[in-house]
C-alpha cells in the first residue's frame, strides 16, 4: 500500500535540517534561558538571535515577537487582552474563521458582554469588504479578526485593505496567519496589523511552538501569569529547541520560497486539471480552484458521489494510504459538517462529500495520479 500525505494544512513534515538543528540544541544547550549562569546565558543568546531573525522576515523589531505554544494561544492572547485590557466592546469577524478565534469570541461575549458581528461572505466564502466598512462605522472600540488564508478553502484575504479600513475607522486588527507565514511574504511596516498569530508546524517546523506579533505600545497584557519571560507577555520557561526549530524552518521556507511555491503551485494546477478531466461533476469549494485567489497549498473539492458512498469516502481513502481531511484537523472527530462550508454552500452541495487536499514540497505528480485514480475507481464502484 502506498503512503501519500496530503494533509499539510493540518501539519507538515519536519525538514531534515530542522531535526538536526533541534537535536544539536537538545544535546548542547539545555540551560534555562532565565538562568544567569553561563548555561542559561548561552540559551538566552540563542533564543534572542532566533527572535531577531524571525522579526526580520516581517520587518519588525525583535521586541514585537512573543513566542507562544502555537497559533491558538497567540489568537487567545490577542483577543482576550483586547477585550479585557484595551476597551474593545465589539469584535468583527467572519463565520469561516478557525475555532481558535470563533470560540474565543463566543466566550468573550459570555464573559464580558462584547458584541460579536459577522461580516458577510459571497458565494465563494470571500469577505464582503463593503459590508466590513459598514460594520466599522461608529465610535465604539472595535477589533477586527479575520484570517489571512482560510485553512479549509484557501481563500486569501486582502489584509492590506482590511488594515487600511481599520486605521481609517480607529479599529484594531488581528489576523491569524497560520496558513500564510512561511508561504507568503508579509511586510508589517507596509501592512499595519496590530496582532498576528503563527505556528511553526505549518511550515515544516516543530509542533508546540509559534509566535504572536504584538505591535509596539499596543497596551496588550499577559494571558498567562507567572515569571517575566517573553517581556512579561507570556510566563513559563521557553522551549529553546522548539524555538530554534521554528527559526530554522522559517529560514529555509523564506530562502526557498520562490522555487518551492512555484513547484507546489504547479502540483495544485496539475491536481485541478486531472480532477476536471477524469472525474466529471467536481466542484471546487470557495476560491480553492482559482490559482490567483487562493493559496497554492490546498484544494477543497466537492465530489460527485451519492450520500451512501459519501459516508465511506474518508475510510476508503485511508485504506488506500491517502491522508487528507474533510476540514480542520482540530474538528476531525466531529460528525458535523464543516462550519466553513456550511457558512456559504447551498444545502444541495453540503449533501455531497467535500475533501481538503493540502500539498507540500514533498508531494509529487505521481502521488496526484494515484489519488485521482483512487477517487475515480471509488466513484465507479
Catalytic residue among 50, 324, 330, 376: 330
- Taking alpha carbons only, the member of 105, 171, 109, 114 closest to residue 144 is 171
- Compute the distance between CA of residue 258 and CA of residue 100 in angstroms, rounded to an integer: 30
Q: Output the DSSP codes for 316-355.
A: HHHHTTEE-BSS-GGGTT--SPPHHHHTTS-HHHHTS-EE
| Alpha-helix runs per DSSP H in the chain | 16-28, 38-57, 71-86, 99-112, 129-136, 159-168, 240-255, 257-278, 307-319, 339-342, 347-350, 365-380
- Taking alpha carbons only, the member of 156, 120, 190 closest to residue 293 is 156
H or E stretch including 197?
strand 195-199
- Compute the distance between CA of residue 283 and CA of residue 299 in angstroms, rounded to an integer: 10
Contact at 8 Å (CB) between 332 and 144? Answer: no
* SS3 category, 114: coil
Contact at 8 Å (CB) between 183 and 324? Answer: no
Please report, in angstroms and rounded to a whole number, the separation of the first and last CA atoms in the chain. Answer: 19
330: annotated active-site residue:
yes
Contact at 8 Å (CB) between 99 and 331? Answer: yes
Long-range CB contact pairs, 20-27, < 8 A, 24+: 21/244, 21/245, 21/248, 22/206, 22/241, 22/242, 22/244, 22/245, 22/248, 25/240, 25/241, 25/244, 26/241
- Compute the distance between CA of residue 188 and CA of residue 206 in angstroms, rounded to an integer: 24
Contact at 8 Å (CB) between 12 and 204? Answer: yes
Q: How many helices (H) and strands (E) does the chain have?
A: 12, 12
Question: Can you read off the three cell numbers belonging to residue 107?
Answer: 466566550
Hey, which residues are catalytic here? 330
Amino acid at each position: 500500500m502506498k503512503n501519500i500525505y496530503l494533509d499539510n494544512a493540518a501539519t507538515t513534515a519536519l525538514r531534515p535540517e530542522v531535526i538536526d538543528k533541534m537535536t544539536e540544541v537538545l544535546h548542547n544547550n539545555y540551560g534555562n534561558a532565565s538562568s544567569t549562569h553561563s548555561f542559561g546565558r548561552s540559551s538566552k543568546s540563542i533564543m534572542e538571535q532566533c527572535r531577531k531573525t524571525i522579526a526580520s522576515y516581517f520587518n519588525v523589531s525583535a521586541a514585537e515577537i512573543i513566542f507562544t505554544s502555537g497559533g491558538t494561544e497567540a489568537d487567545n492572547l490577542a483577543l482576550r487582552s483586547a477585550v479585557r485590557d484595551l476597551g474593545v466592546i465589539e469584535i468583527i469577524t467572519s463565520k469561516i474563521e478557525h475555532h481558535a478565534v470563533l470560540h474565543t469570541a463566543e466566550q468573550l461575549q459570555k464573559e464580558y458582554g462584547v458584541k460579536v458581528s459577522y461580516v458577510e461572505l459571497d458565494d465563494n466564502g470571500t469577505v464582503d469588504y463593503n459590508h466590513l466598512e459598514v460594520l466599522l462605522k461608529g465610535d465604539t472600540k472595535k477589533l477586527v479578526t479575520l484570517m489571512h488564508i482560510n485553512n479549509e478553502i484557501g481563500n486569501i484575504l486582502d489584509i492590506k485593505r482590511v488594515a487600511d479600513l481599520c486605521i481609517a475607522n480607529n479599529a484594531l486588527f488581528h489576523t491569524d496567519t497560520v496558513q500564510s507565514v512561511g508561504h507568503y511574504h508579509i511586510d508589517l511596516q507596509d501592512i499595519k496589523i496590530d496582532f498576528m498569530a503563527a505556528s511553526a508546524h505549518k511550515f515544516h517546523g516543530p509542533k508546540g511552538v509559534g509566535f504572536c506579533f504584538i505591535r509596539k505600545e499596543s497596551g496588550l497584557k499577559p494571558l498567562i501569569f507567572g515569571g517575566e519571560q517573553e517581556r512579561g507577555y507570556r510566563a513559563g520557561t521557553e522551549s529553546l529547541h522548539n524555538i530554534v526549530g521554528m527559526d530554522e524552518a522559517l529560514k529555509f521556507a523564506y530562502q526557498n520560497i520562490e522555487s518551492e511555491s512555484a513547484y507546489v503551485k504547479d502540483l495544485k494546477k496539475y491536481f485541478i486539471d486531472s480532477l476536471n478531466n477524469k472525474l466529471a461533476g467536481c466542484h471546487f469549494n470557495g476560491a480553492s480552484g482559482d490559482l490567483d485567489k487562493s493559496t497554492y497549498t490546498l484544494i477543497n473539492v466537492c465530489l460527485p458521489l451519492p450520500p451512501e458512498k459519501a459516508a465511506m469516502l474518508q475510510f476508503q481513502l485511508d485504506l488506500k494510504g491517502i491522508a487528507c481531511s474533510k476540514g480542520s484537523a482540530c474538528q476531525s472527530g466531529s460528525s458535523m459538517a464543516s462550519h466553513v462550508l456550511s457558512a456559504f454552500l447551498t444545502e444541495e452541495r453540503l449533501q455531497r462529500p467535500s475533501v481538503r487536499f493540502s500539498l507540500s514540497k514533498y508531494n509529487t505528480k505521481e502521488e496526484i495520479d494515484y489519488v485521482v485514480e483512487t477517487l475515480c475507481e471509488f466513484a465507479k464502484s
